Amino acid sequence: MEYNNLPPMERFMAKVSIILNSFNQDEYFETAIKSVLKQTYKDFELIISENGSTDNTKNIMYKYASNPIIKILDYKNNDVIGKRFNQAIKNSTGEFICFLYSDDFIDKNKILIQVKEFEKVSNEYGVIYSDVEIFNEYSKKNFKRKVIKCDGWSLKNQLEKIHIDGHIDMVSPMIKKECLIKHKFLENIFAEGEGILLRIAQDYKFKYIPYSLAYFRDTKFNRGKAIIQNLKFHYETLNILEKNLLNKNSNMINSLKMYRFYFTQNVAWGNLRANGDMSETEKIFSEIINLKNFKYFNSKTFILFIIKKFPKKIIEILNLFFDRLFNIKTNNIFIKNYGGKDR
């Protein structure tokens, strides 16, 4: 069932559409909604795309059904996140789009600051993004996530430096709607995530602003931790990007190869650190170990090559040591299971 709480003719036109994707996060869901409703910038609509929750999420959502700035898209079944995003974009009226997940929340000035920034830049800019702070549910501590800092045409910079400087989290940007019309979310995989930003960067400029405007909640339920699935999903994005670059900008292919190497290596490392199946680590690592990629080898490459040969028990002890040393918890990572339909 799809339910929109206002008939189409009664809906107002908003400058900004905030799309909130929800699925079985009733513990945090209302905090996400309230963080949107507290925005100091008022010309916005909130579109809740409820993706088949089976907990108390729907009951919480309908508490807000009478609010005229909220549109509800209520789906009975859990389905591809990209499909849900595309449906919400189609139902949006805003010139700009922001995304939020039901376990995350945003600063009260996020929309105001990003709209004002768009007013300063040329029409070539399609994405304004900022810092994201991680709220760790285990340590109850906040820390700022590393993010690449771009201003202008940035695809090459992103491909070559994201593995060092950090990716752009999806709860951070404000994106021109036209970008998301031109580059729709993929619907042949369950979740494309931040990969769509690489495709957008082919045609639009990006700008980083130094504010912490979004908060990512680190819990055991984060689907971004389904590292094996996410590797497969992200490859779909990269395959499309490669095809586009071969047609339009072939001199960027070497940058894409570099990105693919470091992304794959980081997934192999993540699987190792999460005590995943060593055969998976071997399989992933073997995809990038060849003479063509030798120029990309770094210290992590050689450490991976050595440690993956250790007995599993030794690796588990090493991981426990590093978890305690850095006050992190890697065992909460979903190695394979994504928690949604796998297309």
What mean pLDDT is reported for the chain?
88
Q: Sketch out the chain's domains with CATH numbers.
A: 8-219 (3.90.550.10), 227-326 (no CATH)
Cα distances from 168 to residues 25, 28, 197, 293, in angstroms, run 23, 22, 8, 25
Mean pLDDT calculated for residue range 66-95 = 96
Q: List, for residues 156-212, the tens digit of each pLDDT value.
A: 999 999 999 999 999 999 999 999 999 999 999 888 889 999 999 999 999 999 999
What token pair was written down for 282?
Answer: 């071997």
Q: List, for residues 23-71, the tens digit of each pLDDT value.
A: 999 999 999 999 999 999 999 999 999 999 999 999 999 999 999 999 9
Q: List, for residues 273-331, the tens digit of each pLDDT value.
A: 888 888 889 999 999 999 999 999 999 999 999 999 999 999 999 988 888 887 665 44
Find the radius of gyration of the CA atoms of the chain: 20
User: Can you tell me which residue has the tokens 């339920």?
Assistant: 221
What confidence category does residue 143 fall into, taking pLDDT thresholds of 50, 70 and 90? confident
* Helix spans in the chain (H): 29-37, 57-62, 81-90, 110-120, 155-165, 177-182, 195-200, 227-248, 253-273, 278-286, 299-307, 312-326
Least confident range from 12-16, 238-242, 250-254, 303-307: namely 12-16
Q: What is the pLDDT of residue 71?
A: 96
Cβ atoms within 10 Å of 154's Cβ, excluding its own: 22
Alpha-carbon distance of 19 to 92, in angstroms, equals 9
